[in-house]
Amino acid sequence: GGGNTSLITVENGGLLRITANGMALRSGPPAPGAAANLNIIGAGSLADLTGGLAVAGNAAASMANVAISDGGALRTTGASLIGFATGNAVAPTVTITGAGSNWTSTGTLAMTNGSFSLLGSGTASFTSAVFGSAASAPPSLLTSGPDSVFTTSGDLTVGSGSGTGVLTLADGGRIAVSG
């Protein structure tokens, strides 16, 4: 499909700061084939959001992706949502790759569909997380590689209500749940 792509890139020590209401990352009609992308690349590069991050949560046709790499960081303080409740035509992705690359949140994460991947020492932490809370295509959580860790200070739920989820640990990847 031939829509335009929206791209937000934070790199070379750049800072994106949103001080209220978080951020919604989404594409939408009338641009089929368009995607919204957030890329945070390199040590010292930071997206700092007061509130949560919503990724492709507004409509089934919405497409959005988050990529954090090479020491980039995302900080959120509120509830974050990945995916539309009944599923997305193209599943959203979150990929965190490389040492120092992280998503750190003092809020929760709910993922209805899509993939969340921690690769090559990427990390993520939330107060609690739910993967698969709706009857849509099951979301997946992958932690792969030494020092790749997904952490919650509370509960981690894989499959809730009518939803299912997929959890994969590979090549030394870990999950740490304190709840």
pLDDT tens-digit readout, 135-156: 777 899 999 999 999 999 999 9
CB 150 within 8 A of CB 170: no
How far is Cα 22 from Cα 1, in angstroms, rounded to an integer? 29
Average pLDDT of span 61-77: 95
What's residue 4's pLDDT?
58
Sequence-distant (6+) residues with CB within 8 A of 30 are none
Q: How far is CA 168 from CA 16, 57, 117, in A?
A: 31, 24, 9
Average pLDDT of span 69-78: 98
CB 15 within 8 A of CB 43: no
- Going by C-alpha positions, the residue among 8, 4, 43 that lies closest to residue 23 is 8
The whole-chain average pLDDT of the chain stands at 91
Average pLDDT of span 47-63: 91
Q: How far is CA 74 from CA 8, 11, 61, in A?
A: 13, 12, 25
Q: How far is CA 36 from CA 3, 32, 83, 134, 172, in A?
A: 11, 12, 13, 23, 31
* Tokens coding 122: 């990427």
Please give the share of the chain, as a percent, with pLDDT higher than 70.
Answer: 92
Is 2's pLDDT higher than 80? no
Residue 133 amino acid letter = S
